[in-house]
């Protein structure tokens, strides 16, 4: 926007120093531009009027045309109030004010038509309205339509007599002055293609819509623009990275063929094959790969990663696989060792518990280039870990690692070349979020489970069915299966946590006196945890009682039942992860969600969703709707989700179009130099100089 919008807010008529300070402190509104972007969060439909006899107590806000028959101040002290009898030709209504009494009583005139606007509540047979807004019927401005903007304010603003109406008044004044200064910020081609409302009309209509239709068009236009610029930025970052980091070219696939033909224990799913092809194309392209691999729990990401590792190793480079916990790193190591050995490859494990001697050997082999595969935890990120020629880094369960750690993996090479990076996550992220959160990455999705998996049966049971549930567990254990029983982890109170778990453990020992039970919780040392996990994995214990430490990645195919205690205390994504611990073998598996009777509305939706579907993406969409984009696991630090008008849980379609448009524009004109793209360039220059901190995205 032009210089006009940099004008200090104090220079708007009606804004003095006091108001200016309040707007700055409370709403971060410093300039004209900030004010105009303080959009209303809803509009009141002021086209509807109600008759007094039609008022019902479940109505949210209503407006009534009538006049004041009588007004008096009654009571004293804090109970002192102004009560007016408001009538129309169908009945009467009491209006009550506790504040601003003197001022109002001087102002309200009898026998003149007013519009009273407020929330009705019932008092015996009569209705009343506390603190209604009063406007003279004659003064109502019909010119600007009947949709009236409602703005966020704060208590402090209200105390300073700046309420939503005051802000509306300021907006109106500003828009009158601003209209001709509002530049178009999108190129004509996009405006035409999507029939977008011009910027200046959009700004006017988002505040004071001429009609519902205009409001919708204005909102669409502003959402589109917002998402377009976020995507443009992400794609620019991606292009810059691709330019900056040429990738090592891996064309040789001999190890892949050898493994595929002689040692692959099962047929890959079509989704696995497709993803491997996508990754191979990256590894072959001469550009550095940064790819996110999304796949529901149990979809078989590990084998995909292994095959891609073989592509890198075939070309004589080394590979690293990093997992978020020791248990998971060990599990990967255990699972991959037979595969690696079968084709004669060395593989090593590096974690915090690796002894000095072991470390020395690993360090040496890495630097000599004689260790092709290294699996490990965060320990891999330490500076002393240096590869001779790292070709591919795989990061499992991405949301546990920060973006900074991801970047660290790039700098592990003695040589000048950067490794390709593959990030795997089992937390399905709705497409819209992924496009924004990982907009600078390429995304592959395994959207198919291996054949022969029986879908897990999910049940919700209340406490009164506990004996039944225990009886069922006994049957399963007698049939040779194993069972998880998980207790919630309460972060604020580790003690209470442990108490739940210990009580649970005791009651399970009593209920299953002859059954060996393992127990794992966050307070145990790593080696104790591992010991218990191993007992369970080897089938020596039949029940695993645990807090959510088993949430991610643990693979015990013989376990067929997951019981989640206090299931309402878990988030949807977490429950879905937990459920994914079973159903990994050929047997029918079950997930039993135990709760008390008392459940919040959201908890009910969560439990019903899990019972209804095992599709991780569907679950993620529901989660997004319930919690909003800012609360989805893995999104917290990102800041990319601070959007003004767009809502990633609803605006997926607009986002897709915006991203597509941004990609097309960058493809034709990567530096945005053409005349046609001048509005984009100007807008970016302006925004970069000003408030918006692009760097928070990368
Ligand atoms: P995740 O995607 O959750 O990491 P894993 O890679 O641990 O899943 O795979 C889950 C299980 O499925 C493993 O035991 C693995 O060996 C097996 N598996 C993977 N792909 C297939 C397939 N195509 N057919 C049969 N089993 C498979
Ligand atoms: Mg996994």
pLDDT digits (tens, 9 = 90+) for 328-377: 898 899 999 999 999 999 999 999 989 999 999 999 999 999 999 999 99
Q: Does the structure show a pLDDT above 60 at 631?
A: no
Question: Which of 292, 302, 336, 577 is the best mutation target for the ligand 1 pocket, counting ligand atoms within 8 Å of the beta carbon and taking the most?
Answer: 302
Tell me the C-alpha distance between 530 and 533, whole Å: 5
- Burial label, 404 (beta-carbon count in 10 A; 0-12, 13-18, 19+): exposed
CB of 328 closer than 8 Å to CB of 554: yes
Q: What is the CATH number of domain 1-46+148-175?
A: 1.10.150
Residue spans of beta strands (DSSP E) within 270-403: 290-295, 318-322, 347-350, 373-376, 390-396
Kindly give the distance from the C-alpha atom of residue 583 to the centroid of ligand 1, in angstroms, as a whole number.
11
pLDDT digits (tens, 9 = 90+) for 179-188: 988 999 999 9
Q: Say if ligand 1 is within 6 A of residue 292 CB.
A: no
* DSSP code, position 154: -
Nearest Cα residue to atom 25 of ligand 1: 450
Residue 49: what are its φ and ψ, rounded to 5°? Answer: -120, 145
HEC profile of 623-679 = HHHHHCHHHCCCCHHHCCCCCCCCCCCCCHHHHHHHHHHHHHHHHHCCCCCCHHHHH
Tell me the C-alpha distance between 35 and 206, whole Å: 13
Kindly give the distance from the C-alpha atom of residue 371 to the centroid of ligand 1, in angstroms, as a whole number.
25
Q: Give the atom of ligand 1 at the shortest distance from the alpha carbon of 268.
A: 23
CB neighbours (10 Å) of residue 92?
A: 15
CB neighbours (10 Å) of residue 514?
A: 7
Q: What is the pLDDT of residue 203?
A: 96
Q: Give the atom of ligand 1 at the shortest distance from the alpha carbon of 269.
A: 23
Q: What is the CATH number of domain 457-613?
A: 3.40.50.300
Longest distance between any two alpha carbons in the chain, whole Å: 98
Of the chain, the percentage scoring pLDDT greater than 70 comes to 90
pLDDT-based confidence at 638, cuts 50/70/90?
Answer: very low
Q: What is the pLDDT of residue 160?
A: 83
pLDDT digits (tens, 9 = 90+) for 572-587: 888 988 898 898 878 8
* Closest alpha carbon to 431 in 446, 448, 443: 443
Which range, of 220-234, 393-407, 505-519, 583-597, averages the lowest pLDDT? 393-407
Q: What is the pLDDT of residue 173?
A: 93
Q: Does the structure show a pLDDT above 90 at 163?
A: no
User: Tell me: domain 47-145, CATH 3.30.70.890, correct?
Assistant: no
CB of 452 closer than 8 Å to CB of 512: no
Q: Does the structure show a pLDDT above 90 at 211?
A: no
The reported pTM is 0.66
Can you say whether residue 628 is alpha, beta or left, with left for phi > 0 and alpha for psi between -120 and 50 degrees? left
Kindly give the distance from the C-alpha atom of residue 414 to the centroid of ligand 2, in angstroms, as a whole number.
29
Q: Does the structure show a pLDDT above 50 at 636?
A: no
Q: Does the structure show a pLDDT above 70 at 552?
A: no
pLDDT digits (tens, 9 = 90+) for 659-680: 999 999 999 998 899 999 999 9
Kindly give the distance from the C-alpha atom of residue 303 to the centroid of ligand 1, in angstroms, as a whole number.
7
Can you say whether residue 369 is alpha, beta or left, with left for phi > 0 and alpha for psi between -120 and 50 degrees? left
Kindly report the CA angle at 598 between 593 and 603, in degrees rounded to 5? 55
Q: Which two tokens stand for residue 398?
A: 């991405």
pLDDT-based confidence at 695, cuts 50/70/90?
Answer: very low
The β-bridge relationship of strands 133-136 and 290-295 is: unpaired
Can you say whether residue 85 is alpha, beta or left, with left for phi > 0 and alpha for psi between -120 and 50 degrees? beta
Of the chain, the percentage scoring pLDDT greater than 90 comes to 49
CB of 327 closer than 8 Å to CB of 531: no
* Cross-strand partners of 520: 546
* DSSP code, position 50: B
Closest ligand to the CA of 296:
1
Nearest Cα residue to atom 13 of ligand 1: 300
Tell me the C-alpha distance between 224 and 655, whole Å: 7
* Closest alpha carbon to 332 in 345, 354, 347: 347
Contacts of 559 (CB under 8 A, 6+ apart): 481, 482, 483, 484, 536, 544, 581, 582, 584, 589
* Average pLDDT, integer, range 148-175: 89
Can you say whether residue 686 is alpha, beta or left, with left for phi > 0 and alpha for psi between -120 and 50 degrees? alpha
Q: Average pLDDT of the chain?
A: 86
Kindly give the distance from the C-alpha atom of residue 581 to the centroid of ligand 1, in angstroms, as a whole number.
12
Closest ligand to the CA of 294:
1
Q: Say if ligand 1 is within 6 A of residue 268 CB.
A: yes
Closest ligand to the CA of 449:
1
Q: Rounded to 5, what percent of the chain is helix, strand, coil?
A: 45, 20, 35
Q: Give the atom of ligand 1 at the shortest distance from the alpha carbon of 555.
A: 7
Encode 42-56: b = buried (16+ Cβ within 10 Å), e = exposed: ebbebeebbebeebe
The residue whose two tokens read 């200046």 is: 200
Q: What is the DSSP string of 375-425?
A: EESGGGGSTT--BSSEEEEEEESGGGS-HHHHHHGGG-BSSSPPPEEEEEE
pLDDT digits (tens, 9 = 90+) for 58-84: 887 888 999 999 999 998 888 889 999
Tell me the C-alpha distance between 613 and 518, whole Å: 30
The β-bridge relationship of strands 442-446 and 420-425 is: unpaired
Q: Does the structure show a pLDDT above 90 at 612?
A: yes
CB of 156 closer than 8 Å to CB of 22: yes
* Closest alpha carbon to 586 in 448, 457, 452, 483: 452
pLDDT digits (tens, 9 = 90+) for 483-511: 999 988 655 455 666 667 788 888 899 99
Tell me the C-alpha distance between 338 and 403, whole Å: 32
Question: Which of 306, 332, 450 is the best mutation target for the ligand 1 pocket, counting ligand atoms within 8 Å of the beta carbon and taking the most?
Answer: 450
Kindly give the distance from the C-alpha atom of residue 592 to the centroid of ligand 1, in angstroms, as a whole number.
23
Nearest Cα residue to atom 17 of ligand 1: 300
Q: Say if ligand 1 is within 6 A of residue 586 CB.
A: no
* Closest alpha carbon to 136 in 105, 112, 162, 172: 112
HEC profile of 563-582 = EECCHHHCCHHHHHHHHCCC
Q: Say if ligand 1 is within 6 A of residue 446 CB.
A: no
Contacts of 478 (CB under 8 A, 6+ apart): none
User: Tell me: domain 254-285+299-425, CATH 1.10.290.10, correct?
Assistant: no
Q: Which two tokens stand for residue 518?
A: 């393992």
Closest ligand to the CA of 577:
1
pLDDT digits (tens, 9 = 90+) for 389-440: 999 999 987 655 555 566 676 677 766 678 999 989 877 777 777 777 677 7
Residue 629: what are its φ and ψ, rounded to 5°? Answer: -60, -30
CATH 3.40.50.300 in the chain is located at: 254-285+299-425, 457-613
pLDDT digits (tens, 9 = 90+) for 6-55: 899 999 998 988 999 999 999 999 999 999 999 999 898 777 889 999 99
Q: Does the structure show a pLDDT above 60 at 562?
A: yes
The β-bridge relationship of strands 126-130 and 390-396 is: unpaired
Q: What is the pLDDT of residue 608?
A: 95
Q: Does the structure show a pLDDT above 90 at 515?
A: yes
Q: Give the atom of ligand 1 at the shortest distance from the alpha carbon of 267.
A: 23
* DSSP code, position 617: H
Q: Say if ligand 1 is within 6 A of residue 295 CB.
A: yes
Q: Which two tokens stand for residue 647?
A: 């809502």
The residue whose two tokens read 């309205």 is: 129
* Cross-strand partners of 157: none
Q: What is the pLDDT of residue 308?
A: 97
Q: Which two tokens stand for residue 452?
A: 């022969």
Q: Does the structure show a pLDDT above 90 at 477?
A: yes
């Amino acid at each position: 926007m032009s210089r006009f919008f940099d004008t200090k807010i104090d220079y708007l008529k009606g804004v003095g120093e006091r108001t200016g300070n309040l707007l700055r402190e409370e709403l971060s509104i410093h300039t004209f531009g900030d004010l105009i972007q303080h959009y209303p969060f809803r509009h009141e439909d002021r086209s509807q009027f109600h008759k007094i006899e039609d008022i019902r107590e479940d109505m949210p806000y209503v407006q009534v045309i009538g006049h004041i028959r009588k007004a008096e101040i009654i009571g004293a002290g804090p109970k002192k109030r102004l009560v007016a009898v408001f009538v129309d030709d169908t009945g009467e209504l009491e209006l009550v004010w506790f504040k601003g009494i003197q001022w109002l009583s001087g102002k309200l005139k009898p026998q003149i038509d007013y519009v009273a606007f407020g929330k009705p509540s019932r008092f015996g047979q009569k209705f009343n309205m506390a603190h209604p807004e009063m406007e003279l019927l004659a003064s109502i401005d019909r010119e600007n339509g009947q949709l009236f903007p409602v703005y966020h304010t704060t208590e402090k603003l209200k105390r300073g007599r700046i309420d939503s109406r005051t802000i509306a008044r300021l907006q109106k004044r500003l828009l009158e002055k601003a209209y001709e200064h509002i530049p178009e910020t999108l190129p004509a081609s996009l405006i035409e293609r999507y029939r977008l409302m011009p910027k200046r009309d959009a700004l006017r209509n988002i505040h004071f819509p001429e009609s519902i239709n205009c409001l919708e068009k204005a909102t669409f236009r502003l959402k589109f623009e917002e998402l377009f610029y976020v995507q443009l930025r992400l794609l620019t970052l991606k292009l810059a990275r691709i330019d900056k980091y040429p990738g090592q070219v891996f064309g040789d696939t001999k190890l892949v063929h050898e493994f595929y033909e002689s040692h692959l224990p099962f047929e890959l799913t079509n989704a696995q094959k497709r993803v491997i092809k996508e990754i191979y194309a990256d590894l072959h392209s001469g550009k550095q790969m940064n790819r996110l691999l999304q796949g529901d729990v149990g979809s078989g990401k590990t084998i995909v990663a292994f095959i891609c590792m073989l592509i890198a190793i075939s070309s004589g480079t080394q590979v690293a696989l990093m997992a978020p916990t020791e248990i998971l790193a060990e599990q990967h190591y255990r699972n991959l060792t037979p595969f690696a050995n079968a084709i004669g490859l060395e593989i090593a494990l590096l974690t915090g518990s690796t002894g000095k001697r072991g470390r020395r050997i690993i360090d040496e082999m890495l630097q000599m280039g004689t260790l092709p595969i290294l699996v490990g935890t965060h320990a891999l990120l330490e500076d002393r870990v240096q590869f001779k020629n790292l070709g591919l880094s795989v990061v499992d369960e991405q949301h546990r690692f920060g973006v900074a750690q991801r970047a660290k993996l790039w700098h592990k090479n003695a040589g000048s070349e950067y490794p390709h990076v593959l990030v795997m996550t089992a937390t399905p992220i709705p497409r819209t979020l992924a496009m924004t959160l990982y907009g600078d990455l390429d995304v592959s999705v395994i959207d198919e489970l291996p054949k022969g998996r029986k879908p897990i049966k999910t049940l919700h049971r209340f406490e009164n069915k506990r004996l039944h549930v225990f009886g069922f567990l006994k049957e399963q254990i007698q049939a040779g299966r194993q069972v998880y029983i998980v207790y919630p982890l309460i972060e604020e109170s580790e003690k209470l946590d442990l108490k739940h778990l210990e009580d649970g453990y005791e009651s399970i020992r009593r209920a299953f006196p002859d059954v060996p039970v393992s127990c794992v919780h966050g307070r145990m040392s790593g080696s104790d945890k591992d010991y218990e996990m191993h007992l369970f994995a080897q089938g020596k214990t039949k029940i695993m009682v645990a807090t959510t430490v088993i949430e991610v990645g643990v693979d015990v195919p013989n376990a067929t039942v997951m019981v989640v205690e206090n299931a309402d205390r878990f988030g949807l994504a977490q429950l879905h992860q937990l459920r994914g611990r079973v159903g990994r073998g050929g047997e029918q598996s079950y997930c039993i969600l135990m709760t008390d009777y008392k459940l919040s509305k959201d908890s009910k939706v969560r439990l019903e969703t899990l019972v209804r579907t095992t599709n991780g993406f569907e679950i993620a969409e529901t989660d997004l709707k319930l919690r909003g984009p800012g609360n989805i696991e893995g999104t917290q630090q990102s800041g990319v989700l601070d959007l003004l008008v767009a809502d990633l849980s609803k605006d997926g379609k607009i986002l897709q179009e915006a991203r597509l448009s941004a990609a097309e524009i960058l493809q034709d004109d990567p530096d945005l130099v053409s005349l046609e793209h001048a509005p984009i360039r100007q807008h970016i220059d302006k925004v970069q100089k000003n408030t918006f901190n692009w760097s928070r995205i990368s």
